[in-house]
Amino acid sequence: MKNKTLFAIAIIVLIMAILCMSFTSASDSVNKDKSGSIIVYAGAGFSELGDDLVKTFNEKYPNIEVNMRYGGSGELFTTMETQKKGDVFFPAAYKYMGDAIENGYVKNDTVKNVTKNIPVIIVQPGNPKNITGVEDLARDDVKVGLGESKGPAIGKSSQEILNKSNVTVNPIVTTTTVNQLVTYLISGEIDATIIWKAMTSWADNQGKFDVIEIPDNQNKISTIPIAVTTFTEDSDSAQTFVNFVTEDDDAHKLFEKWGYELL
């Protein structure tokens, strides 16, 4: 009787193992069966995160080629508008997604909010100009760089922050991407600028500047969305990428790794 019981248990365990293997194999084959090629228009500030997302995505979907096109959100919107191509829109602020919805450039039912972008002031290491807040950016002895107010998302957000505080700044340089602002500051050409908080956690930026937080009542925090465009020629692959970014646990861990707070 005991041997029969052990034999029955062994059979049950074997069946469960076979079913588990079959399920895993089926899941793998689904992922590998998906194939295609997509273009993702992503904000320049996502360059580090984006490359990691693509790498992890391709571990799960090796036959879907993802071409990331980084740039200022305004520039990306214009590119999508004029070229009428691209598969996924991933701007750094919801304002640009709103414009895309209004113009019919994205599929409304695919729009999903992912995380948020929080502006901060960065200054030279040690803060030699003793900059403590937004108001100090208007001082004559402070050289400031800003994103173009009608270009990258950081530029529009920066202008709204300045307007909130009734501060007028005459930047010595304006840029089309947030990444360029970091370069100007690290090179010593400017004393201060406004960038996204997530970028301050990048390994390449450690020790190269000090961070000044902007109070909530002065700040302009942006919601970051993602969506499939109406121009896509591979909607299945585009939706698969959007689902990965918004729903996959491994993707969420990458957002946290690069300093983003999930919604």
186-198: pLDDT as tens digits:
999 999 999 999 9
Nearest-angstrom CA–CA distance, 119 and 223: 12
Correct CATH for 119-213 of 3.40.50.10480, 3.40.190.10, 3.30.70.100, 3.30.70.250: 3.40.190.10
* Alpha helix (H) residue ranges in 34-171: 47-60, 73-83, 94-102, 153-164
Mean pLDDT of 52-58: 97
Nearest-angstrom CA–CA distance, 76 and 192: 26
**Average pLDDT value for the chain:** 91
Can you name the CATH fold of 36-116+223-257? D-Maltodextrin-Binding Protein; domain 2 (3.40.190)
Which tokens hold the place of 175? 């840029």
Question: Are residues 161 and 134 in contact, defined by beta-carbon separation less than 8 angstroms?
Answer: yes
Question: Are residues 145 and 173 in contact, defined by beta-carbon separation less than 8 angstroms?
Answer: yes
Domain boundaries, the chain: 36-116+223-257, 119-213
Percent of the chain residues past pLDDT 70, beyond the cut: 89
pLDDT of 152 above 50: yes
pLDDT of 3 above 90: no
pLDDT of 12 above 60: no
Rounded to a whole number, what is the distance in angstroms from the first to the last CA of the chain?
57
The closest of 23, 93, 106, 29 to 60, measured between CA atoms, is 29
Q: Check for a shared fold between 36-116+223-257 and 119-213.
A: yes
Whole-structure pTM value = 0.83
What is the helix (H) or strand (E) element at residue 67, kind and residue range? strand 64-71
**Beta pairing, strands 36-43 & 64-71:** parallel
Which pLDDT band, with edges at 50, 70 and 90, does 16 fall under? low
pLDDT of 23 above 50: no
Angle, CA 109 vertex, CA 106 and CA 115 arms, to 5° = 80
pLDDT for res 9? 54
